[in-house]
Amino acid sequence: MILRSVIIVVLVVGILSPASQSLRFELQSGYTKCISEDIKSNSMTVGKYQVVNPNPDHPLPDSHKLTVRVSSPNGNTYHRAEKVETGQFAFTAAEEGGYTACFWADDHSPRITMTVDFDWRTGVHAKDWSNIAKEGQVVVMELELKKLYDVVTSIHDEMFYLRGREEEMQELNKATTSKMFWLSFLSLFLCLSVAGLQFWHLKTFFEKKKII
């Protein structure tokens, strides 16, 4: 009971915390950098990326272009953009597992290094609540209720997911225990058979030598 309470608390904290990957990384021309995010099926995910201008007082150089591809665990492409400075994507995951966003820059001589800002959000945190409040003209209380409703729904789905995983583990444990039982029985049978054959062989050998 205590363990289940601890799991629920950790789950709530994990869901309420920002479930996103907001980062800045460097990418050299001619190289590829991939970032992975574990997403559950039917979860919304949004991402934004932008090449940082190394000199804000001047336009971004033409060499600072990205090719971006976002793919599912099975290799299905959900977003692709070639030679862009900035972009965004949004989709609902149809598959569960690790989704990958890969960034690639054309090779240049001499080699250049560009800085990329990337923000990737999933689940409840993928929803832009400020736009919802602005477009729907809802009051603050309604907005908070919508947030809480989505959090509770996410917790509910997560609990059913964990329950399903627990049932799978129980079935796996039962199958493993059954296999181990039959394996132990087979090992014991083989050991007794070998011991019986050795006893029969020794008895026959000593009888031929007229020792017994």
**pLDDT of 145-178, one tens digit each?**
777 877 788 788 888 888 888 988 999 999 899 8
CB atoms within 10 A of CB 193: 10
**pLDDT mean over 79-104:** 91
Number of domain units in the chain: 1
Per the structure, the complete domain to which residue 118 belongs is given by: 21-134
What radius of gyration do the chain's Cα atoms show? 30
**pLDDT mean over 9-14:** 40
Q: The domain that contains 75 carries what CATH number?
A: 2.60.120.380
3-state helix, strand, coil split of the chain in percent (to 5) is 45, 30, 25
Residue 104 in any domain: the answer is yes
In tens, the pLDDT along 29-51 reads 889 999 998 888 888 888 899 99
Residue 150 in any domain: the answer is no
Residue 115 in any domain: the answer is yes
In three-state secondary structure terms, 134 is helix
pTM of the model: 0.54
Residue 47 in any domain: the answer is yes
**Amino acid 165: pLDDT:** 86
